[in-house]
Amino acid sequence: MSAPVSLLRLLPATFALSAALFAVSVHANDLDEVNQLLKAGKQAQALAKVEQSLTAKPRDPQLRFLKGVIQTELGKPQDAIGTFTKLTEEYPELPEPYNNLAVLHASGGQFDKARAALEMAIRTNPSYSTAHENLGDIYANLASQAYSKALQLGGSSSTLQPKLTLIRELFTPGSKGTNVNTTKPVATAPVAPTVVAPVAPTATAPIVKPAVTVPVATAPTTPVAPALPAVAAASDKDIEQAVQAWAKAWSSKDMNAYLASYAKNFDTPKNLPRKTWEDERRDRIMGKSRISVKVSDITTKLNGNTATVKFRQTYDADALSTSSRKTLELTKVGDRWLIAKETTGG
């Protein structure tokens, strides 16, 4: 994960599946409809729609993946486990189903199974950051269990449930369609470097596009508050510009502009001293040969001189590519909006 923030992320309560990320056009209509249903909180109907689409394309990994996600949302972990397990069997080259399988096992307290699944996800895609983070959480949890047993603290109830990230989108390379049609996943040689394809730069190409459509996507949310004063509307725009400028500074590795996006009282992760944090960021960012940070699906909540901005961050650097929900808390300092807090997740 690119974010320098807490590695634990809650399973977001707000289920915002971005249909735009499912860039393969064949599904676009189906997925759009499912997404609409999900946005309306109609999970059951969304599931029905997915099932219906699956009758036409029974092996489609994206639909099946989505089905697993909705089953998870509907509180049907066993069904979801079944769905994801079958996906791992038929598409062993995809890390996402393993990851979600791990999330489900972990929430059922089966950390060893979760660990095995995550290790498979990482074997499939060594630079898969979500799986790395989730595995870190699992290690910490298993360690805590082992310590409890060692000290006979009795009842592993004291161990916290790890908050793992459920992947909601299946990243597929542009060529995925052919893979699906061959029905011979073995042919994709899971161990071969080509496996990295799901996160390879080409894969992100379709993802970049939706960013352009962002203003359109967010447009409907703004009119919901009809009588907003003009000032607020202007602020929204300023805030959005500030976020885009931050992403741009990051992408262009402009450290001065990047660090200047953060307020003096920025809540550094793990309460690191500001200087340490800055050095860390500098190392991380300057250490990359290429970074692309795109922001999409922006929603802004204004509250006087502070604002909460939620969006989807598509990060793509060297061999690593992720898409995640991010929340920035901004404060207005003079006429500038600066970041006071940065968190990953819903």
Site string for other proteins, 110-149 (x = CB under 8 A): -----------------x-x--xx-xx--xx-xxxxxxxx
Q: Nearest distance from residue 155's CB to other proteins, in Å?
A: 9
Report the distance separating Cα 332 and Cα 335, nearest Å: 7
Which of 16, 116 has the CB closer to other proteins?
Answer: 116
Q: Nearest distance from residue 151's CB to other proteins, in Å?
A: 4
Number of neighbouring beta carbons within 10 Å of residue 277? 18
Angle at 33 between CA 181 and CA 128, to 5 degrees: 55
| Footprint of other proteins on 154-183 (CB under 8 A) | 154, 158
| Footprint of other proteins on 237-296 (CB under 8 A) | 284
Report the distance separating Cα 105 and Cα 37, nearest Å: 27
- Given 13, 56, 151, 227, the residue binding other proteins (CB under 8 A): 151
Report the distance separating Cα 131 and Cα 99, nearest Å: 6
Q: Nearest distance from residue 61's CB to other proteins, in Å?
A: 26
341 part of the interface to other proteins, by CB under 8 A: no
Which of 59, 149 has the CB closer to other proteins?
Answer: 149
Q: Nearest distance from residue 137's CB to other proteins, in Å?
A: 8
Q: Which residue has the tokens 């909601």?
A: 168
Per DSSP, 157 falls in state G
Q: Nearest distance from residue 92's CB to other proteins, in Å?
A: 22
| Footprint of other proteins on 3-22 (CB under 8 A) | 4, 7
Helix (H, G, I), strand (E, B) or coil at 295: strand
Q: Nearest distance from residue 41's CB to other proteins, in Å?
A: 34
Report the distance separating Cα 43 and Cα 17, nearest Å: 12
> Do the beta carbons of residue 73 and residue 11 sit within 8 Å?
no
Q: Nearest distance from residue 102's CB to other proteins, in Å?
A: 14
Report the distance separating Cα 115 and Cα 138, nearest Å: 6
What is the total count of residues that contact other proteins (CB under 8 A)? 29
Which of 116, 228 has the CB closer to other proteins?
Answer: 116
26 part of the interface to other proteins, by CB under 8 A: no
Provide the token pair at 228.
Answer: 């907003």
CA dihedral of residues 309, 314, 315, 318 (deg, nearest 10)? -170
Q: Nearest distance from residue 18's CB to other proteins, in Å?
A: 22
109 part of the interface to other proteins, by CB under 8 A: no
| Amino acid type, 151 | L
DSSP letter string, 160-206: PPP-PPPP-S----TTHHHHHHHT-GGGG-TTSGGGGGGGSHHHHHH
Residues belonging to the chain? 346
Expressed in percent and rounded to 5, the helix, strand and coil fractions of the chain are 55, 15, 30
Which of 40, 146 has the CB closer to other proteins?
Answer: 146
Which of 54, 255 has the CB closer to other proteins?
Answer: 255
150 part of the interface to other proteins, by CB under 8 A: yes
Report the distance separating Cα 219 and Cα 227, nearest Å: 15
Q: Which residue has the tokens 């049907």?
A: 76
Which of 331, 344 has the CB closer to other proteins?
Answer: 344
The interface region with other proteins, picked from 78-86, 153-161, 173-181, 296-304 by CB under 8 A, is 153-161
Q: Nearest distance from residue 36's CB to other proteins, in Å?
A: 34
Interface residues with other proteins (CB under 8 A) are 1-2, 4, 7, 127, 129, 132-133, 135-136, 139-140, 142-154, 158, 284, 317, 320
